Structure 1
Amino acid sequence: MPEFSIGEHDFLLDGRPFRVLSGALHYFRVHPDQWADRIDKARRMGLNTVETYVAWNAHAPGPGAFDLTGGLDLGRFLRLVAEAGMYAIVRPGPYICAEWDNGGLPAWLLRDPAVGVRRAEPRYLAAVRDYLDRVYSVVAPLQVRHGGPVILVQVENEYGAFGSDKTYLEALAEHARAAGITVPLTTVDQAVDGMLAAGGLDGLHRTASFGSRAAERLAALRRHQPTGPLMCAEFWVGWFDHWGAHHHTTPVAEAAAELDALLAAGASVNVYVFHGGTNFGFTSGANDKGVYQPTVTSYDYDAPLDEAGRPTAKYHAFREVIARYHDVPGEPPPPAPPAPAFGVPLGDAVPLLDAPGRWSAGVRHDALPSLDEVAGAPRLALFTTRVDVDGPAVLCFGEVRDHASVFLDGQPVGTLRREHRQRALGLRRAVGELAVLVEDHGRVNYGPRLGEPKGLVGGATLGGVALTGWEVRPVDAPPAPWGDAEPVPAGGPVAGPVLLRARFSPPEPADLHLDTRGWGRGVVWVNGFCLGRYWSRGPQRTLYVPGPVLRAGGDEIAVLELDAMTDPTARFVPGPLLGHTEA
């Protein structure tokens, strides 16, 4: 069987120089019925390798659980890579960043403040070893020496930007070897001397992450690694978006020129990302460098393959660059036809505050819990209690993470947002039922705020007196089906929080793009599959609907509108609308 190793100047496949031409493709961001298509398009761009992270929290939603089925079937994904005649790089973290909720670390692991984060702390390392055992039980038999596609496995991820605990890195490397990983182990850090020094480990092959100034970055990498192949393991060809900001793009010509410079220098490369996919459900992360900035649902990233898997101008430009250095197989994929365009009115409104029992049973808590202290750690939950202050008073929370809509006897009182550092509201009179709809907009995925609690943190007071006697209902999944009756259209603007639905049948089987124009803020499900969040603040305006989610005989859409909807119509448009750019 083949052997993959590191030589004095090159990666070696069976002793011969081998340049890694890789592209990032995260299986957990792509519908599994579309994996083979995306892998084939990577091959047709001229890549010989596919790289993926492994998201610990996606596989392990709770202690003791580990899911390797459906869209989390890592083994099937890697076998599809092999069937396409390609190789694979696996990056299991345990921390991955990736603009993914909590950087891939399970929230349940970090509820105990005594558990260390990304360091050689016994309880953390025990959980990490258990996780890696699950991953390596899949990866080890699929290494290239066993006839599989895996040629490299990465240890941690950009660790030099976080810490410098060499004992921790050594423990991860030793565990990989003990679990049967025999291919070369790598690290990746930004091409900055301090980070390369802190995040690297002798005996592991250092790689760098950057998107420009290739010669300068490779020189920095070479200072820390005098021999062995040069590799940019994250060649940033685009960027991610935050709610309330602009859609990031990078000029095609500039990105292609940087790729050309990398290949001309003889370096290996992993295009980050070749195809980003989508943060379906509640999986998008956030940044907080003084201001909280949640990541949007789309992970299009201005990549060579867009969110819907369609080749872009960048795809064709990269293919031309690669062809100057290596054979590029076959023909590029043909242009994709526009998606079907049609609309259907939403109706059968179910107001959350009028019928909270439709969502879930209420659970009593004496003290105000955070979302992490509620069973299942929901991303959306309704908190209610009775209040009786006959006069002006201030409602104050310890901290709001990340969005709280306050109601008194069903009437809106105000909104508190984490990014504005808001935590208090003045009430003219506080008598009746106080309801607080709490939204987690994504856990921080980078920096020291990893693992922090979510929801209303630190309790609540009204007029300086602690509020107790709370009833809590998770609302992050739609309630039971309405039945077989056809929905009655809303017919006009709708005030949230409210759930609406519609039935529809596309004119042809295809991917769809749902236009959320005229909607406020909320979540969408199609046939029970959660597409993710939408928000009128943009920049993203459409939600991607993978074709495999649709079913013959008709489909159902459910929309939980949390703010206000001026146009209760589900409109499907020909292509994605990801918002304004800086240009």
Structure 2
Amino acid sequence: MMKITLPFVTNLICACLVMCENAASESGTFSIDYKNDCFLKDGRPFQYISGSIHYFRIPRFYWKDRLLKMYMTGLNAVQIYVPWNFHEAMPGVYNFSGDRDLEHFLDLANQTGLYVILRPGPYICAEWEMGGLPAWLLQNPDIMLRSTDPDYLQAVDSWLAVLLPKVRPWLYSEGGNILSVQVENEYGSYFTCDYNYLRHLHNLFRVFLGEDTVLFTTDGNTDKEMACGTLQGLYATIDFGTDTNVSAAFDRQRRFEPRGPLVNSEFYAGWLDHWGDQHAQVDTNKVAGMLEEMLSMGANVNMYMFEGGTNFGYWNGADHDTRYRPVVTSYDYDAPLSEAGDPTDKLLAIKDIIKRFRAVPEGPMPPPTAKFAYGFVTLKKVGRMSSLLDILSPQGPILSPNLKTFEEMKRYYGYMLYRTKLPKMLHDKTPLISPLNGVHDRAYVSVNGVYQGLLERDTTLAVNVTGQQGDQLDIVVENMGRVNFGSKINDYKGLVSSLFLGSDVLTDWQIYSLDIDEVIASGWPHSGGLDLSLEPGSEAFDGPVFYMGTLEPMGLAWDTFLKLRGWTKGHVWINGVNLGRYWPQRGPQQTLFVPGPLLSGSQPNNITVLELERASADARVLFMDRAQLNSAAGGS
């Protein structure tokens, strides 16, 4: 164990004297000085003060704005993950364009004057769907993720053979701004503890990134995590938050990395929310105080998150400790920059601390983006999901005696509809049961179009139904996000085990893979051809129902926040883009962030809502100029 002494502190503080340099435009060197316990950049001591930001949670239009705000706070680096499933949604089909343009983001960071700490996975956690691993891996039911399983390694090798050559030109030694690269992510928290897997990745990263690139690991503040997540040849760093004794945590890093710089790779400036939780908040004074303590020791610090952003679409992850807990749509994280990228009091406090250790750029902080309260919009019913299958599933159902998962159907995200017939007359209420907890994750049950209730993973394993023999039983299953952390990341979706109706096992299924996002992106339901004569609020439907409306142009396209007060749970699309899930009854999140670039100031803006249980009585939604993320939790 290392004892922190005054000469040690003085030696590391010298790094602060040279931190006002801009990101390099010429080739240089970045290395570890084990003798003097610091990083060296171009042969001189270097200390980074970094913040995490996820390009995949922020619209491309706003990347430059967020990076500039980080730079003006006094940061000299940003830390980013690369989510494998965001770039290879189908095997061998790669997408690095638009909001997935990683190299453009690296270029903007370089132009802004920020170095990059790169965390390319293959697993990232990040409260992201399946921790960044693509769901198509689960087509192999026997695959052992994050191990030396040959099938898993083959997929990993193919992916990294595409990704790592893209990032190599951005290494600092190649004239770019990437200082160091993490191998895997928090591997010590995973049960396999497979050192051969880490060795395989280490060799792969060396082949593609060269022998001189600084490679590192990050693990939690326990001996077990550090023991299973570290490997000789990979520099071991640690992560911890404000509830931790700084000296004790760095002493633990020293037990696994006796010499070299102190590094907190994830200093938790905030925390995440699950549906049904209270909104997480981390005290600003504690964040500022601990940051000052670490910087005064000469430590390198990355604040996780500096801006969280949004889990648009279906990209939120979930935890599963004692039960399944999905992450909310907002990834605000109580971060120094809000979900909408606005500076907070926490950011100003952090900036004041950084000023004590390095020169902070002069000039004003970029202001918050413009917000506008567009007001109420009344929606009209389009129809029940079950009556729209010709549109939502034009390929029709597959017929199967047994249930199939999302993965078997190659419908990895969103929704599927399972249909069969009641095998007998149900004079009395009869339980539809998932005895093996096989509903992943919520199922909305109807008989002949009449909503009966729902099943929910880990909490509601039975619902009573009635009907006649031969009646149509529809079960719409929602994937609420795959587990992103721990031993349960092999998280199959759909009806993953048999359903019983009373004592009868249900068989002979029609299974509809629903192309909801593709259909809405093509213009439906606003493209016409629908009878929308129903008045808003009349003939209330329960169960999965589509609604539509239009936000009329107002000559501007500013950020706004959508509130669905009185609605229960579902999804929202604006101009064909999936904003994510709403669930105001469960909370704490009450509004969805609507980035201004999604809106038109001159053309009607199409709103599509899939309400899964029951809409508000007046079928109105409200566009506000502020977020509401902090309601009391509770209720279903």
The amino acid across from 1:297 in the alignment is T
Change beyond 3 A, Cα 1:347–1:427: closer
**Could you tell me whether the CA contact under 8 Å between 2:570 and 2:609 is conserved in 1?**
yes
Give the match for residue 384 of structure 1.
Answer: 419
Return the alpha-carbon distance in structure 1 between the equivalents of residues 290 and 487 of structure 2.
Answer: 32
Q: Does 1:542 align with 2:591?
A: yes
8 Å CA contact retained: 1:191, 1:218: no
308-317 vs 208-217, which moves further: 208-217
Q: Which residue of 2 aligns with 1:481?
A: 525
Q: Which of 430, 447, 452 is the matching residue for 2:491?
A: 452
1:532 corresponds in structure 2 to 580
**Letter in structure 2 aligned against 1:482:** H
2:155 matches 1:127: yes
* Alignment-derived partner of residue 407 in structure 2: 372
Structure 2 Cα separation of the partners of residues 575 and 489 of structure 1: 32
Name whichever of 287-296 and 375-384 sits farther off.
Answer: 375-384
Give CA deviations for 1:382-403 in whole Å, capped at 9, x if unaligned: 2111223113544333411111
Q: Is the 8 A contact 1:346 1:490 kept in 2?
A: no
Partners of 1:248 and 1:581 within 8 A in 2: no
Given candidates 463, 486, 489, the residue that maps to 1:425 is: 463
SS in structure 1 opposite 2:122?
Answer: coil
Question: Which residue of the partner structure matches residue 620 of structure 2?
Answer: 569
Query: CA separation in 2, counterparts of 1:346 and 1:427?
Result: 30
Q: Which amino acid aligns with 2:29?
A: E
Q: Distance in 2 between matches of 1:518 and 1:465?
A: 37
TM-score, reference length from structure 2? 0.88
DSSP 3-state at the match of 1:298: coil
Counterparts of 2:309 and 2:404, CA distance in 1: 34
Deviation at 1:474, TM superposition (A): 3.3
TM-fit CA distance, 1:50: 1.1
Paired residue for 1:165, among 184, 191, 194?
194
Which aligned pairs between 1:71-90 and structure 2 lie closer than 5 A? 71-90=99-118
Contact 2:341 2:369 in 1 (8 A): no
**Residue 66 (structure 2) pairs with residue 34 (structure 1):** no
In the TM superposition, what are the counterparts of 1:149-228 in structure 2 within 5 Å?
149-162=177-190, 163-181=192-210, 182-212=212-242, 213-228=245-260
Shift of 1:506: 4.3
Deviation at 1:113, TM superposition (A): 2.9
Q: How does 1:194-273 map to 2 (within 5 A)?
A: 194-212=224-242, 213-273=245-305
Task: Verify: 1:340 aligned to 2:387, yes or no.
Answer: no
Hey, what does 1:7 align to over in structure 2? 33
Q: 1:544 to 1:490 in 2, by over 3 A?
A: farther
Alpha-carbon offset, residue 488 of structure 1 = 6.6
* 8 A Cα contact 2:562 2:594, kept in partner: yes
Whole-Å Cα distance in 1 between the matches of residues 527 and 151 of structure 2? 48
| CA shift in 2, pair 1:24/1:459, >3 Å | same
Pick from 384, 393, 414: which aligns with 1:351?
A: 384
SS at match of 1:353: helix
- Identify which of 490, 494, 505 aligns with 1:466: 505
2:498 aligns to what SS in structure 1? strand
Would you say the 8 A contact 1:105–1:451 is kept in 2? Answer: no
In 2, Cα distance between equivalents of 1:174 and 1:95? 17
8 A contact 1:287–1:293 mirrored in 2:
yes
**Equivalent residue letter for 2:536:** G
SS of corresponding position for 1:140:
helix
CA contact (8 A) 1:157 1:189 kept: yes
Q: Within 2, Cα distance between the matches of 1:507 and 1:343? A: 17
Between the two proteins, the alignment pairs up a number of residues equal to 581
Q: Tell me the distance in 2 between the aligned counterparts of 1:100 and 1:265.
A: 33
* Letter aligned with residue 372 of structure 1: E
| Native 8 Å contact 2:432 2:502 kept in 1 | yes
Unaligned runs of 5+ in 1: none
Find the counterpart in structure 1 of residue 8 from structure 2: none
Q: More displaced, 505-514 or 231-240?
A: 505-514
State the partner residue of 1:288: 320
Contact 2:377 2:621 in 1 (8 A): yes
CA distance in 2: counterparts of 1:312 and 1:452, whole angstroms? 36
Residue 469 of structure 1: CA displacement?
Answer: 2.6
The CA deviation at 1:126 is 1.3
User: Contact 2:590–2:631 (CA<8 Å) still a contact in 1?
Assistant: no
Query: Which consecutive residues of structure 2, in runs of 5 or more, have no partner in the other structure?
Result: 1-26
Q: Distance in 2 between matches of 1:500 and 1:458?
A: 32
Of 4-13 and 378-387, deviating more is 378-387
- Secondary structure at 1:438 match in 2: strand
Contact 1:523 1:534 in 2 (8 A): yes
* 2-structure distance, mates of 1:281, 1:469: 32
Quick one: which of 441, 455, 463 aligns to 1:402? 441
Distance in 1 of aligned mates of 2:508 and 2:89: 29
Output one character per residue of 1:298-344: Cα deviation in whole Å (capped at 9) or x when no partner: 00000000000000111100000001001110232335554334221
Q: Give TM-score scaled by structure 1 length.
A: 0.96
For 1:97, what is the secondary structure of its paired residue? Answer: coil
Q: Which whole-Å CA distance do the structure 1 matches of 2:371 and 2:133 have between them?
A: 38
Partners of 1:369 and 1:459 within 8 A in 2: no
After superposition, what is the alpha-carbon deviation per residue over 1:171-204, rounded to whole angstroms, capped at 9, x for unaligned?
1011001013442000001121221121111111
Tell me what 2:13 maps to: none
User: 1:186 touches 1:205 (CA, 8 Å); kept in 2?
Assistant: yes
- Please give the per-residue CA displacement for 1:26-70, whole angstroms capped at 9, x wherever unaligned: 111111111111111110111111111011111111111111111
- What secondary structure does 1:270 align onto? strand
Deviation per residue, 1:78-120 (Å, 9 max, x gap): 1111111211111111111100111111111133133221111
Separation in 1, partners of 2:329, 2:355: 34
Contact 1:346 1:489 in 2 (8 A): no
1:521 has 2:569 as partner: yes
Could you tell me how far 1:77 is from its partner in structure 2?
0.8
Distance 1:490 1:151, change over 3 A: farther
1:497 aligns to what? 544
1:579 matches 2:630: yes
How far apart, in 1, do the equivalents of 2:228 and 2:104 lie? 35
Q: Tell me which amino acid in the other structure corresponds to 2:570.
A: G
Conservation of the 8 A alpha-carbon contact between 1:340 and 1:510: no
Three-state SS of the structure 1 residue aligned to 2:458 is helix
Question: 610, 617, 623: which is aligned to 1:560?
Answer: 610
Question: Greater CA deviation, 305-314 or 571-580?
Answer: 571-580
1:68 and 2:96 are equivalent in the alignment: yes
* Aligned CA distance change for structure 1 residues 76 and 295 (closer, same or farther; 3 Å): same
- CA distance in 2 between counterparts of 1:51 and 1:201 reads 21
Task: Identify which range, 561-570 or 136-145, moves more after superposition.
Answer: 561-570
